[in-house]
Amino acid sequence: NAGVTQTPKFQVLKTGQSMTLQCAQDMNHEYMSWYRQDPGMGLRLIHYSVGAGITDQGEVPNGYNVSRSTTEDFPLRLLSAAPSQTSVYFCASSFKETQYFGPGTRLLVL
């Protein structure tokens, strides 16, 4: 199993640009989530999904959209990037209280 994969690893955007961070898992987990990690802040939940077609907001959802058309994929969309969205983004899937994290996407918004 590949586990949780994320693409791209690194991305630089200009303010106002849009992009999609990809996340996929091959473990057939129903629950998936997106976190952002900022220095001194730990991980904060952006959006999560409890299954295909079902998504909900976490702590810091503003500026981000998600959809879940399949069990495997859970993309995160930035419609109009802002410098405040400079961060490291982690996708995770969950089974029986254990979360499995992807390697992360490092995003810089200029």
Residue labelled with tokens 């904060």:
44
- Residues 104, 88: contact at Cβ < 8 Å? yes
Nearer to another protein, 47 or 78 (CB): 47
Q: What's the token pair of residue 27?
A: 């473990």
Within 85-104, which residues bind another protein (CB under 8 A)?
A: 90, 92, 94-104
With binding defined as CB under 8 A, does residue 52 bind another protein? no
Nearer to another protein, 66 or 92 (CB): 92
Nearer to another protein, 13 or 92 (CB): 92
User: Which residues neighbour 100 within 8 Å (Cβ) at sequence distance 6 or greater?
Assistant: 3, 4, 25, 27, 29, 92, 93, 94
Give the interface with another protein as residue ranges (CB under 8 A).
Answer: 4, 30-31, 33, 35, 40-45, 48, 50, 58, 90, 92, 94-104
